[in-house]
C-alpha cells in the first residue's frame, strides 16, 4: 500500500511539473493575444530593437522607425508581411530562426545576429507587432 501511495504521489508531482512547464511557455505558443503583449514587453523590445540593451541590431537594417531599407529589408510598420503571417508567433519564429532565404531583400540571421534570450525574442516580436498594430 505504501508503494502505491508513493507511486501516485510521484505521478501527481510529475503532472504538476509538466503543467507548470507548459504554462511557462504559453506566450510563445499563443497567437497575438492581449496577454502575450504587454506595455512592459513592448518597452523591452523597443530597447532591444534600438540597440540599448541585449546588443540588439534590428534598427541597423530595419531603420530606427521600422520602415526598413527599400530593396533590402521589409517595412515593419505595415500589416503586409512577406516572410510570415504577421502573428506574434510568426514574428517570434522569424526573430528566433532568422530568414535565411527571404522572398525579397537580404537574409536575416537568427536573433538578428545578437545574443537574445527567449524573453528578448518575445519582447522584440511584441515590439515589431506593435509597430503595425498600435494600441488604442
pLDDT tens for 47-102 read 999 999 999 999 999 999 999 999 899 899 999 999 999 999 999 999 999 999 99
Provide the whole-model pTM. Answer: 0.74
Rounded to the nearest integer, the mean pLDDT of the chain is: 81
The answer to whether residue 101 is domain-embedded is: yes
CA-CA distance, 88 to 129, in Å (whole number)? 6
The answer to whether residue 43 is domain-embedded is: yes
The answer to whether residue 16 is domain-embedded is: no
Q: Per-residue confidence at 134, pLDDT binned at 50, 70, 90?
A: confident
Which domain range does residue 120 map to? 31-132
Number of helices (H) and strands (E), helices first, in the chain?
A: 5, 0
Tens of pLDDT, residue by residue over 13-50, are 333 333 333 333 444 444 444 468 999 999 999 999 99
Q: Report the C-alpha dihedral over residues 29, 38, 15, 6, rounded to 10 degrees.
A: 160
Of 35 and 133, more confident: 133
The answer to whether residue 75 is domain-embedded is: yes
Domain with residue 44: its CATH number is 1.10.760.10
Domain count, the chain: 1
Please choose, from the candidates 72, 116, 68, 75, the residue with its C-alpha nearest in 3D space to the C-alpha of residue 96. Answer: 116
Amino acid at each position: 500500500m505504501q508503494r502505491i501511495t508513493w507511486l501516485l504521489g510521484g505521478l501527481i508531482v510529475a503532472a504538476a511539473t509538466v503543467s507548470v512547464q507548459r504554462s511557462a511557455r504559453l506566450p510563445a505558443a499563443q497567437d497575438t493575444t492581449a496577454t502575450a503583449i504587454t506595455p512592459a514587453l513592448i518597452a523591452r523590445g523597443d530597447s532591444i530593437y534600438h540597440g540599448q540593451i541585449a546588443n540588439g541590431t534590428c534598427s541597423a537594417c530595419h531603420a530606427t522607425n521600422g520602415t526598413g531599407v527599400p530593396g533590402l529589408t521589409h517595412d515593419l510598420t505595415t500589416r503586409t508581411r512577406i516572410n510570415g503571417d504577421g502573428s506574434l508567433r510568426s514574428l517570434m519564429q522569424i526573430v528566433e530562426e532568422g530568414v535565411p532565404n527571404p522572398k525579397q531583400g537580404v537574409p536575416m540571421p537568427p536573433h538578428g545576429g545578437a545574443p537574445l534570450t527567449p524573453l528578448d525574442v518575445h519582447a522584440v516580436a511584441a515590439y515589431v507587432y506593435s509597430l503595425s498594430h498600435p494600441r488604442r
